[in-house]
Amino acid sequence: MIDDLYSARILSLAANLPHSGRLAAPQGTAERVAKLCGSKAIVDVALDDAGRISDFAQAVKACALGQAAAGVVGESIIGATAHEIAEARDAMLAMLKSGGEGPAGRFEGLRVLKQVADYPARHASTMVALEATLDAVNQALEKHHSDTRTRLAGAA
């Protein structure tokens, strides 16, 4: 039964992690760790003027399921907004915990992990990359808003 969980698609995603590494000058950085298994994702982002991800890097040390989720995120992330990432996170949690269909649109590829719902001990590892990405984007947005407030205050 658990062999079904590790499909060829999941193993392929896990083996080919897009945007692996770190950014030289990120606007936002975040780390998430799944306490039960130790899966970890560190994500760096840079945003364009519209708040969309323009550059992205991830350093992920996780099980095949966590790596696969990070693979989907890496394939789909450039151009994404915080809102899209939050929607994907919420849909992913609903898929894992309450039978939801999973993310739609840009992050629909995460549905490949639907069978993980039957393995609660694996839920956290499948979420680390997406949650770290959202944290990094929110950090970058907050820094941008803070910098804008500082510039406006200096101009007054």
User: What tens digit of pLDDT does each residue of 114-156 get?
Assistant: 999 999 999 999 999 999 999 999 999 998 777 655 555 665 5
pLDDT tops 50 at residue 1: no
- Higher pLDDT residue, 43 or 37? 43
What pLDDT score does 14 carry? 77
Closest of 145, 136, 139 to residue 32, by C-alpha: 136
CA angle 73, 28, 70 (to 5 degrees): 15
Q: Facing residues of 43 across strands? A: 30, 58
Q: pLDDT band at residue 9, thresholds of 50, 70 and 90?
A: confident
pTM: 0.88
Answer yes or no: are the C-beta atoms of 25 and 109 closer than 8 Å: no
What pLDDT score does 3 carry? 58
